[in-house]
Amino acid sequence: MLKYFLKKLGMVLIVLIGAATCSFVVLHAIPGDTAQAIAGPQATMEDVERLRASMGLDKPLTEQYKSYIIGLCHGNLGFSYHNGKPVWDLVAAAWPNTMRLALSSMLVAILLGIPLGVLAAVKRGRVADTISMVIAFIGISMPSFWLALLLILLFCVNLNLVPFYGIQGWQSYILPSVTLGVHAAASIARMTRTGMLEVLGQDYIRTARGKGLQESRVVFLHALRNAAISIVTIIGLQFGILLGGQVVTETIFSWPGIGRMIVDALNSRDLQIVQGGILILACTFAVINLLTDLLYGILDPRIRYN
């Protein structure tokens, strides 16, 4: 198990170094003069040059890369171009909001997805199956930003039930969580149905039924547990997709998280923040993938030994 863990951890480290390099390369390839953009159109040539030197933008790219990587190792993500605040502080303030939203969306997804999938599998071929799968299918095909707009239209504009701007108490979590959760719920429901159908056809299910167990016990204790591996995999995968979806959802709901921070910083060309934000999202993504892999190894011993 330790060997499996170390192998996965090594992979994560390599991916993170690659991600850091990529975000550095990509953002330095952006056309346009950053120093000029920050100094503004009225700045003199001298001012721009001084600014460029003070930000280290006049050094060769390899030098900039080296100081960037060394800084990263010390937990230094650089400083915002506009207000000089350390990017680390900005990210540290936004990250918990992003994670809280991600977790509450995942909760919505699991609470909606698994029951829907189990229902569809148990009632296979009946009306309940068809209805659940049609719902799941629409959930997968719908763009999340449209769902967000529809929810705002219905609950904020028409019914005026919940706030749609920033975080104002627990009610603020409802709409963004549903927006993000529905897509994940749809995938989880489909995967749960497939996993359950596979398990329900096994001999041990027939045995469980044969020895007179209640149907609910058979479904939830015998079948669902064995279908858990495929469900956990899809939950881990969906968590990653959810992090990507945060960018859009946070922008729509003005949620003070990392996604909106990245979009705002992009619009104001604050590259250090963009770089830091993207890196932290990639980090979170990689750690979640690592956890999924580990959970996978725990749930199914066959994987661990291969």
Partner 1 sequence: MKIIKKILHNPSAVAGLVLLLFICLCVTIGPLFTPSVTDQNLLNQFASSSAEHPMGTDEFGRDVFARIVMGGRYTLISGIVSVILGLAVGIIMGAASGYYGGACDYIIMMICDIMLAFPSVILAMAITIVLGSSMFTLMVAVGISSSPIFARLVRAQFMSLRDATFVEATRLSGASDLRIIFCHLLPNSMGPILIQGTLRIGSSILLAATLSFLGLGVQPPTPEWGSMLNSARQYMWESPMLGVWPGLAITVTVIAINLIGDALRDYLDPRTRSLL
Q: Is 285 a residue that touches partner 1 (CB under 8 A)?
A: yes
* CA-atom Rg of the chain in angstroms: 24
Helix, strand, coil content of the chain in percent (nearest 5): 80, 0, 20
∠285-291-296 over CA atoms, to 5°? 125
Q: How many residues bind partner 1 (CB under 8 A)?
A: 49
Q: Is 230 a residue that touches partner 1 (CB under 8 A)?
A: no
Phi-psi region of 60 (alpha: psi -120 to 50; beta: other; left: phi over 0): beta
Shortest spacing between CB 146 and partner 1, in angstroms: 3
Give the residue among 282, 268, 216 at the shortest CA–CA distance from 14.
282
Handedness of CA 272, 74, 16, 302 (dihedral sign): negative
Taking the least distance from each CB to partner 1, the nearer of 28 and 209 is 28
Q: Is 35 a residue that touches partner 1 (CB under 8 A)?
A: no
Count of CB atoms situated within 10 Å of the CB of 157: 10
Q: How far apart are CA 72 and CA 196, in angstroms?
A: 45
Shortest spacing between CB 182 and partner 1, in angstroms: 12
Taking the least distance from each CB to partner 1, the nearer of 6 and 26 is 26
* Angstrom distances, CA of residue 128 to CA of 124, 131, 132, 243: 8, 5, 6, 31
- Binding partner 1 (rule: CB under 8 A), the pick from 5, 15, 76, 230 is 15
Beta bridge partners of 79: 86
- Binding partner 1 (rule: CB under 8 A), the pick from 43, 131, 140, 290 is 140
64-83 positions binding partner 1, by CB under 8 A: none
Note whether 186 and 113 are within 8 A (CB).
yes
Q: Is 238 a residue that touches partner 1 (CB under 8 A)?
A: no
Per-residue binding string, partner 1, 168-197, x by CB under 8 A, is --------------------------x--x
Shortest spacing between CB 259 and partner 1, in angstroms: 9
- Binding partner 1 (rule: CB under 8 A), the pick from 6, 157, 221, 303 is 157
- Binding partner 1 (rule: CB under 8 A), the pick from 1, 53, 61, 150 is 150
Q: Is 30 a residue that touches partner 1 (CB under 8 A)?
A: yes
Per-residue binding string, partner 1, 242-261, x by CB under 8 A, is -xxx-xx--xx---------
Q: Is 297 a residue that touches partner 1 (CB under 8 A)?
A: no
* Angstrom distances, CA of residue 32 to CA of 174, 233, 270, 271, 276: 40, 42, 12, 12, 20
8: tokens are: 């996965």
Q: Is 10 a residue that touches partner 1 (CB under 8 A)?
A: no
Taking the least distance from each CB to partner 1, the nearer of 33 and 54 is 33
Taking the least distance from each CB to partner 1, the nearer of 29 and 45 is 29
What's the distance, Cα to Cα, between the start and end of the chain in Å? Answer: 11
* Angstrom distances, CA of residue 106 to CA of 51, 93, 179: 44, 21, 11
Taking the least distance from each CB to partner 1, the nearer of 6 and 22 is 22
Taking the least distance from each CB to partner 1, the nearer of 125 and 212 is 125
Q: Give the footprint of partner 1 on this chain (CB under 8 A).
A: 11, 14-16, 18-19, 22-23, 26-27, 29-31, 137-138, 140-147, 149-150, 152-153, 157-158, 194, 197-198, 240-241, 243-245, 247-248, 251-252, 262-263, 266, 278, 281-282, 285-286
